[in-house]
Structure 1
């Protein structure tokens, strides 16, 4: 059963890859690479890079990747601060403690 899930996940990730032509070589981007570049560009307010990275994968794949990045970042910060992920998420958004 886990083998099927793993294969299905691999097919999904491979389907989300796109190829970008850079000079004479082809460059493949996966959804996590696109999400990392997109979020970095948003943090730096670099509109040209935002538009470029948003085109690397489908909008649905980019949304999934950004969500996954956010989850991992909140978990990492929660571990670092020895707080709950909920408390860290609320603090990052400037919300009062629950």
Structure 2
């Protein structure tokens, strides 16, 4: 299952735009790195970080990465709290119990 997700997600990767660091070309950021940086910057209210991470991949790829990060975070919290993912997701959003 994860292999299929990786193959699907790999289609969204961007390639370096000729940028160099110290005389060598930088490797491209993948959508999961972009999503992690984007969400962390949002949590810290860091607009420069948000803009930088958003530029690493296409908007569609970033959306997919953020969605995948949200799913994984909810699952991890649900396991930690010994609750259902639905209960945890609703709690995180401040919604009443279903």
Q: State the superposition RMSD in angstroms.
A: 2.2
Moved beyond 6 Å, runs of 4+ = none
1:66-98, Cα deviation, whole Å (9 max, x unpaired): 000000000000000000000000000011101
TM-score by length of 1: 0.84
1:10-36, Cα deviation, whole Å (9 max, x unpaired): 375055233262422323100001000
Does structure 2 conserve the Cα–Cα contact (< 8 Å) formed by 1:74 and 1:89? yes
Match of 1:43 in 2: 43
TM-score by length of 2: 0.84
- Count of residue pairs the alignment pairs up: 94
Unaligned 5+ runs, structure 1: none
Match of 2:75 in 1: 75
